[in-house]
Structure 1
Amino acid sequence: MMPTDIQTILAGYGSCVAAVSGGVDSLLLAVVAHRTLGRGAILVHAASPAVPAGDAARLRRTARDEGFAVREVDAGEMRDPRYLQNPVDRCYHCKSHLYAALAGIARDAGAAAIISGTNRDDLSDYRPGLVAAREAGVRHPFVEAGMDKAAIRAMARSMGLCFADIPASPCLGSRIHTGTVITRERLAAVDAAEELVRRRCGLPVVRCRIEGDAARIEVAPEILHDPGMRAGLEAAVAEIGRVFADRFPFLATVELDPRGYARGRAFVGKP
């Protein structure tokens, strides 16, 4: 069963183009939009090196299970030097490209709205991408329904969706310190390191932050103080060092961050 409010809001659009990254918010939006509007919901995924491979795979599984099609686009942010220089408003440049691509699809299809998985919690944070959304006239049905992250997870659980409790999964660009240039190689290094630690240590939340030529692995602080887990982590970091020496030699050092995980640590200069 789906809550009536969100169904009513989506039905009110009549048709839409939805941005779907593969995190819990956008996946739920895709499922509900498809179940409510059927072919009137065009679901679009930005195929970008900044999207974690696991997120793209999760989206493909959900699309298969739910029976909807996903259109992939190259929004073009990797060709924009304003994005690649990784300024404090990096997300604005990324989302501007994404919403321009979605606007073209909406025009061609005659879709009435472009929608995103933004929720109420996002409105209290510094998110330059929301400026791009406002400029593009993007609608946020979860915000219109008064839903925050907890409500989104609760709704996904009530619908029996397997992704209800997956950890937050921001783009890989968020792991690269503000001012450190974004490259395909740095994004690939982040994804490879995080996947290796998750696989070797069974940890749901891992971050590989890159600043210049240094990579730091962040996990929950309590794990760092567990001798058994610490040994496994140190072995995983040593393996990452060997992988990087072969595939990403521009990264000179890899180490565990002794401070542990903290949200948004690579984001420097927030107003």
Structure 2
Amino acid sequence: MTIDPLIRLHDVLCELPNLTVAVSGGVDSLTLAFTAARVVPGFSALHAVSPSVPPAATQRVKDYALRHNWPLKLIESGEFNDERYRANPHDRCYFCKSNLYATMAARSSGPLASGTNLDDLGDYRPGLIAAKEHGVRHPFVEAGIDKATLRQIAVQFGLADIAALPAQPCLASRIMTGLRIAPEDLEFVDKVEALLRDHVPGDLRCRVTADGVVIEADHLPTTATALAAAQCQKAGRIFLGHKPYQRGSAFVLPDTLEADQHHG
């Protein structure tokens, strides 16, 4: 007999009293938090405010917490104080998540959980190593739930505003590996993507490379191209034009210099 995924998720969550969910502002963590708030005694949510997190994501978390009466704490995870993270090596995500989960674990009275799902396990994600080191639970994984299923759960709960949210990795994923992570670059990336969002359907990335700025999208209308070029000129950056969206194109592995296709 096939057990409903939501029932499996409830079974996992009910074994985690005083659970704290790390909420980034995407569909995964928000759906997990919404579910946990309904069934977990002592549930709470934590959100890290950082230059690498789009302000719109932070606002979305605040809105959800207010709307659904979640106990929410906003924290600073401190990754920008870590030179290993700022250097932007191929395993940057490990240092980011190490800082994040260490800070969150210190603020949690019970277990800590992330919105990681089954699809994430096939990616190159050094952050999962950091999660394991800090004892972070992954209820979606434990319940056998992938991205498509968790989106269905969001729809089932009537969370239409997040169910179809596109994947939004942290803003640092737009910076080519090896280029130092600077808050002003992340602010620029977020500003450009927010400006173009209404003009570009589907996936959209503003990539910062050693040579200049590239806009990646399956289709970039002339109006959006002009907007991007104007923003680059205003910021004193070189605009290299448009390329088709390629997942992980800003990420390069050491030695091979091959792009890993499992990053934003």
Counterparts of 1:203 and 1:197 in 2: how far apart (Å)? 9
Q: Does residue 35 in structure 1 map to residue 38 in structure 2?
A: yes
Residue 76 of structure 1 aligns with which residue? 78
Counterparts of 1:254 and 1:54 in 2: how far apart (Å)? 25
Return the offset for 1:238: 2.5
Deviates more, 1:177-186 or 1:204-213: 204-213
Q: Sequence identity, in percent?
A: 43
Moved >2 Å (runs of 4+): 202-205, 255-258
Residue 248 of structure 1 aligns with which residue? none
Letter in 1 for 2:250: A
TM-score by length of 2: 0.90
Letter in 2 for 1:234: T
The 8 Å contact of residues 88 and 181 in structure 2, kept in 1 or not, is answered as yes
Q: Which of 116, 125, 128 in structure 2 is aligned with 1:127?
A: 125
Listed as ranges, the matches of 1:113-262 within 5 Å are 113-161=111-159, 162-199=161-198, 201-212=199-210, 214-220=212-218, 223-224=219-220, 229=221, 231-245=222-236, 251=237, 253-258=238-243, 260-262=244-246
Q: Are residues 60 and 204 of structure 1, via their aligned partners in 2, closer, same or farther at CA, if it must alter by over 3 Å?
A: farther
- 3-state SS of the aligned residue for 2:248? coil
- Please list the CA deviations of residues 121-166 of structure 1 after superposition, one character each: whole Å capped at 9, or x if unmatched: 1111110000001111111000000000001101101111021011
Residue 48 of structure 2 aligns with which residue? 46
Listed as ranges, the matches of 1:100-119 within 5 Å are 100-106=102-108, 109=109, 111=110, 113-119=111-117
Ranges in structure 1 where 5+ consecutive residues have no aligned partner? 246-250
Letter in 2 for 1:10: L
- Structure with greater helix share of residues: 1
Counterparts of 2:241 and 2:100 in 1: how far apart (Å)? 34
Q: Over the residues paired in the alignment, what is the CA RMSD in angstroms? A: 1.7
Residue 10 of structure 1 aligns with which residue? 13
TM-score by length of 1: 0.88
Q: Are residues 54 and 204 of structure 1, via their aligned partners in 2, closer, same or farther at CA, if it must alter by over 3 Å?
A: farther
The 8 Å contact of residues 167 and 204 in structure 1, kept in 2 or not, is answered as yes
Counterparts of 2:121 and 2:182 in 1: how far apart (Å)? 29
The 8 Å contact of residues 194 and 206 in structure 1, kept in 2 or not, is answered as yes
